[in-house]
Each structure stands twice: as C-alpha cells, then as structure tokens.
Structure 1
C-alpha cells in the first residue's frame, strides 16, 4: 500500500533534515540529487521546513550564480534547545544541545545509595538547570531521559520496580514541574543505546540487529526492519531475567538474581576477573568491570598465547554467549552488538570469542560486534530522540505550507 501524502511528506522531511545534519548546508539542487526526489517535491519540503523555522538560508553556493538556486539551506540550530539525561543508580549525566546536535554543556552528579529520595531528585533537577545556564539556554524545548527499567509503552511512564531507586520514577514529574515549558520524556536506557549505535555506531549498516547491554546491569534492545521494538508491556529485552545455567538459582518477577544478570552484570564480571588474578585498580574513570575487561583485552594483544587475561576473556565469553544465543534463537537478527561499558571495553577480543562460540551453538549466521559508543550511547540516543521529537512538533505546529496558485498556461 502506498504511503499517504502526509506520511510521504513526513518521510521526506526527516530525510532532508538528516542530510542537512550530516552533510551541512545544501542547496535545493543538492537536496534533489541526494534524496532522489523531484524538483517540486524538494521545493515543497524546503518551504515546509523553512516555515517551521527548522532550516534557514545560511549563504550562497559559490559554484552557482546568485539567485534562488544558489541559496544554501542549513539547520536553524538555535530554533530550539534540548537536554538529555542518562540516569543510573549511582548518578546522573546531562547534556544540553542545539538542533544541530552540538553539545553546548555536559555535567554529572554522583548520587549515592544512602541519598534520600527528595535530595536525589533535587540534585538531578538542579544539575539540568545548571547545565542549561552554563550553555546559555533560557528555555528547554524537550528533555529526554534514559533510565534502566520498564517504560510503559502506553503512558510513557517509568514503571515501578523493586530493584530501582524510587527517585528514578519521581524525577520525570519533578523535571516537568520545574521546567513547565519543556516536554519531558523517558525511554529505557538500552533502547536509547541501540538507536545511537544504529545512527552513529557499530550498527550503522544494519536495519535489523540486537544490542546486548553489558554494564552495571544487563539488557537487550531489538531493532527490526529499522524500527525499535518495545513489546506489549515495554519489556522487550529484559534479558537479565533470563534463566540460564551456572547461576545456582532462578530469577523471580521482582529480582533478576539467578538470571543472566548474575552471570554478566558488572559485579559478576568483576568477581570473575578477580578469580583469574585480574583485580581492578579502581582509578574511578570507568566501572571496575569495564576496567578489568579492557586491561585483559589489551594484555592479550601484547602477549600471544594463553595467560590469565586470555582465560578470563574465554570464561566471560562462555557466559555472554548464553544471552546472545537466546536472542539469536528467537529473533535471528543477523547481528548482535555488545554494548555498554563492558561490551565496548572487550572490543574485538571479546566479540570474536562470543561469535566463535555462537557459531557452535546456533545454525543462524550472526555477526557479533563490539560497541563503538559504550556507556555514552545512552546519552547520545537520548539526544537523538529528543531532537527528532522537537523537529516533529515544530513541523506539526507550523501547519501545512501553502503555496500560491500557479497561473494557467495559454
């Protein structure tokens, strides 16, 4: 079934905006060439995007004669500003950006487990306000938040789970109260990481893939035919609850201990590394588990053969492949990205081991790749999705562009 006119316009607008963000200012002729659209269609979309304030004339192409055909159109970076939050159990990171995607300010605040709910919420909200002030932004249009846990696909709210701090759930309402002009949205952290890897990272050439998050916790995200799949209750990818051998128990509906999390979560990885004689130095620049995995991968590169580093990576791959094989058996994604701080730290050394073991477990050909973005993918994904929401709302609020009627010939 062909797309409706409104759907086709939305697709064309998003395509043009993405090209302008990636390539920089372009003429209408260059947009026509890069999109493959007809000249009238490009003229219409340029008019719509200009009317919405999303793009503006930023100069003239030197290769063109002066006039309409020489106009260079670029993203109106200051049309609106947005903020992205990466909310973890131990703290919050925020970035403020313009519509071009340029980060104007970034800040972090640690939040300890003994911090009260009210104080934790206040620390996080104040961090956003300080970052906006530092960036010189007086009003935020959209705030996108990435957090662990389940996000209800109907209400968009972070669902209550016993394993997460209460301040996570209260943060959205507090942000909305203190920033009444901003639209505040929340998305699962692993889903945001997958969107970032698809746009800017290890899955740029894939329309279908899965991301396995290996960080403080474990999770998975699924992109099928270019679309992120959340599931009926928003729980697609809650792989930490997957029953697997080797844990000595079973997970429950309220606790993933005994599931895949017990094998591949950061605490389990750090313990496994210590068992192989690879204690963490604890410099604080990255989680201990990621530090140990990174050191093991580097040691293996500099030392051919066996050794404690190689044995540790082998043992870790034996664990990780259990989660990967389960995802592959159900979805057949063709590609799995090992994300999060640990997945990125393992690099090709860990990814190659997992892929080799997967080939023995599954008849489905699957590439296993290391994340390009690691833990930073959550913040990047939150910025990308917030920017797309801003663009959609500005286009919708501008209304359809009206062009003057053309005179009849003859």
Structure 2
C-alpha cells in the first residue's frame, strides 16, 4: 500500500533533516542528489522546513556562483538547547549545547553530600541553571543525565540503592520541577559511555560489543546487534557483583565486595600498584587509579616493576573479560573509563593475550578512546537524538 501524501512528505522531510545534521549545510541540488527526490519535491520540502524554523539559508556554495541554486541550507542550531549531566558520587559535570550538539558552555562542580540531601540537590540544580545562563540559552528543550546505579526499565527512573547518595535520585525530580518545559531523562552512566564509544570512539565499527567500565568502580554495558540491552530489571552489566577467584569472600545483594569490583575497582588498582612497589603519583584532576596505570604504561617509576604491575592487572581484567565472552560472545570488549583510557593499547594487548588463552571464543580487546568523558558525551548524544526526534517529527 503506497504511503499517503502527508506520510511521504514527513518521510522526505526527516530524510533531509538527517542529511543536514550529518553532512552539514547543503544546496537544494545536493539534497536532490543525496535523497533521490525530484527537484519540485525538494523545493517543497525546503519551503516547509524553512517555514517551520528548522532550516535557514546559511551561505552560498562556490565563489563564482550566485542565485537561488547556490543557497546553502543548514539546520537552525539554536532552535533548541540541550543539557547533558554526568552525575558522580562526588560531583556533577554539565555541558549545554545547541541542536547540532555544539557545546556552548561546560563546567563541573564538586557536591558536598555531607551538607544533607536537600542542600546537595539545591547546589546541583543551581549549578545547572548557572551553566545554562552562561550558555545564553533561554530554556532547555532536553536534558540527558548519566548516573551510576540501575535504571528501572518500566519507569525510566533511577532505582533506590544503598551504595549511592540519595541526592542522585532527588536531582532528577528537582531538575524537572525547575525546568518544567524540558524533557528530562536519566540513563546508567556505563550505558551512555558505550553509546558514545560506538558513535565517536573505539567501537565505531561494531554493532555488537561490551564496554567494560574501569573508573572509580566497575561496570559493563552490552550492545547486541546495535541495541543497548538493559535486562529485565535494568541490571545488565553489573559486573562488579560477578563472583570471581582471587577475592576473600563473595558479594552480597547489597555489597559488591568480593566480586569483580574487588579486583578492578579504583581502590584495588591502587593497592595492587603498592604491592608491586609503585608509588601513588600526584593526580590533579585525574582519578588516582588512572594516574597509577598511566605512569605504569610509561614505565614509571621503574620499567620492570611497572611491567609486573600491568601483567598482574591484566590477569585480573582478563577474568572479567573472559566471563563476559563466555556468556555473550560479543567479539569485542572495550576497556572504557579513565583507567581503560590510561592503560591504552598496551594494557588492552595484555588483556587480549590472556583472554585468548582462557577462552575459545575470539574476543578483540580494545582501549576506550573517550575515557571518563564518554558519559557526558553519551548523555549529550542521547539528548540531541531525543530533541531531534521531537522537532523533526511530522506535525
């Protein structure tokens, strides 16, 4: 059954907008060539999208060309403003961007949870409002939030967890109250990091892979056949609770101590480095575990001791990677987060070598490209996609 005229127009408009978002400004002739539509159809859709305020003339193509055929059309970037948040136990990072995802303002702030939940929430919300103002945005269309913990697949809300500060859950509701016109959503931080690594990072050529998050804690995100898998309760990837050899006990329902977290979490990495005679370097803003691994990769302070530490750390990581491979057979595991990025290709190669000995399933191990910034990047990509889904939808 052929599409109705209105449906066909909506499909054509969306196709043109996606091309402009991906390729940048185009002439009507270029839109005709890339979409395969007729000249009159392209002229009509350009008129519609211009009247709707979604595209505008942004220049002309070619130094010698003038006239209607030379006009370059681009998406009106300030048609909507977006915000992305990376909510950590100790603070919040925020970026405000336009509809094309170009950052207009970005900042981070430590949050003092000891002052009480209400005060912490107010501090975080006021900070977001300040960054929005600095960006020159009158209002926000969409807010994407990345946070640790489980997201309820039915409600889309951050679930209660004894290991996370209460202000995390309260923050989402407070932002929605203070920004009533914005669409506010929250997603697990590791899931967002995986989306970012797939779009812009180490997994750009993979539609099936697992991101192993290595930061303050551990986590995993599972992407199968291009779809992020969350599980029945939203808990896919809670690898910190995975029972593993090499620990003194087993994890419980409320404590991942004794699980994979005890081998690969930040405190465990620092302790392992000290066992191998490596000092803890001054880190500045970099997480301590990431600084330790970065120095070891550089052979500091002693190449032999650093190499032994990296071997021991790779032994630990290989246990988690091989477990993931045995269950999911993803073909590729990305070592993400600040620690994964700090380890780079040298750590990834060590882990990959061990996994090949442990598993019959071919599993490529790659270093993450985006590090800790992947969460904020993933939150921004998600916010942009949702805003475009709304604004580009047929009216």
Please say whether Structure 1 and Structure 2 have the same fold, judged by a TM-score greater than 0.5.
Answer: yes
Residues 219, 43 of structure 1: alpha-carbon distance in 2 compared, 3 angstrom cutoff: farther
Q: Which residue of 2 aligns with 1:349?
A: 346
Q: Check the 8 A contact 1:52/1:394 in 2, yes or no.
A: no
Distance 1:226 1:8 in 2: 27
Distance 2:344 2:182 in 1: 38
Q: Which residue of 2 aligns with 1:334?
A: 331
| 2:169 is the alignment partner of 1:153 | no
Q: Check the 8 A contact 1:109/1:123 in 2, yes or no.
A: no
Q: Check the 8 A contact 2:14/2:392 in 1, yes or no.
A: no
* 1:130-141 → structure 2 map (5 Å cutoff): 130-141=130-141
| 2:389 is the alignment partner of 1:392 | yes
Q: Which residue of 2 aligns with 1:215?
A: 215
Gaps of 5+ in 2: none
Shift in Å, 1:30: 2.8
Residues 316, 17 of structure 1: alpha-carbon distance in 2 compared, 3 angstrom cutoff: farther
Residues 65, 92 of structure 1: alpha-carbon distance in 2 compared, 3 angstrom cutoff: same
* 1:19-30 → structure 2 map (5 Å cutoff): 19-30=19-30
Residues 39, 350 of structure 1: alpha-carbon distance in 2 compared, 3 angstrom cutoff: farther
Q: Check the 8 A contact 1:244/1:260 in 2, yes or no.
A: yes
Residues 259, 54 of structure 1: alpha-carbon distance in 2 compared, 3 angstrom cutoff: farther
Q: Which residue of 1 aligns with 2:177?
A: 177
* 1:263-302 → structure 2 map (5 Å cutoff): 263-299=263-299
Shift in Å, 1:19: 4.3
Q: Check the 8 A contact 1:49/1:395 in 2, yes or no.
A: no
1:101-138 residue CA offsets vs partner (Å, 9 max, x unmatched): 11111111112452311111111101101101111112
1:75-116 residue CA offsets vs partner (Å, 9 max, x unmatched): 211001011100000111111111121111111111245231
Shift in Å, 1:29: 3.5
1:313-337 residue CA offsets vs partner (Å, 9 max, x unmatched): 1111111111111111122111111
1:335-377 residue CA offsets vs partner (Å, 9 max, x unmatched): 1110000000000111000111111111221211111100000
**1:307 counterpart (297, 304, 312):** 304
Q: Check the 8 A contact 2:334/2:366 in 1, yes or no.
A: yes
Q: Check the 8 A contact 2:145/2:186 in 1, yes or no.
A: yes
**1:365 counterpart (355, 362, 366):** 362
Gaps of 5+ in 1: 400-410
Q: Which residue of 1 aligns with 2:167?
A: 167
Shift in Å, 1:20: 3.0
Distance 2:116 2:351 in 1: 41
Q: Which residue of 2 aligns with 1:79?
A: 79
1:190-217 residue CA offsets vs partner (Å, 9 max, x unmatched): 0100111111111111111111100011
| 2:375 is the alignment partner of 1:378 | yes
Q: Check the 8 A contact 1:117/1:167 in 2, yes or no.
A: yes
Q: Check the 8 A contact 1:54/1:391 in 2, yes or no.
A: no
CA RMSD of aligned residues (A): 2.7
Q: Check the 8 A contact 1:52/1:395 in 2, yes or no.
A: no
Shift in Å, 1:233: 1.6
Distance 2:374 2:229 in 1: 18
Residues 258, 17 of structure 1: alpha-carbon distance in 2 compared, 3 angstrom cutoff: farther
Q: Which residue of 1 aligns with 2:95?
A: 95
Q: Which residue of 1 aligns with 2:108?
A: 108
**1:324 counterpart (321, 324, 329):** 321
Distance 1:8 1:357 in 2: 53
1:239-280 residue CA offsets vs partner (Å, 9 max, x unmatched): 111111111111111111111111111111111111112222
Q: Could you tell me the TM-score, scaled by structure 1's length?
A: 0.88
Q: Could you tell me the TM-score, scaled by structure 2's length?
A: 0.92
Residues 275, 42 of structure 1: alpha-carbon distance in 2 compared, 3 angstrom cutoff: farther
Residues 18, 206 of structure 1: alpha-carbon distance in 2 compared, 3 angstrom cutoff: farther
Distance 1:252 1:307 in 2: 37
Distance 1:21 1:218 in 2: 34
Aligned partner of residue 330 in structure 2, secondary structure: coil
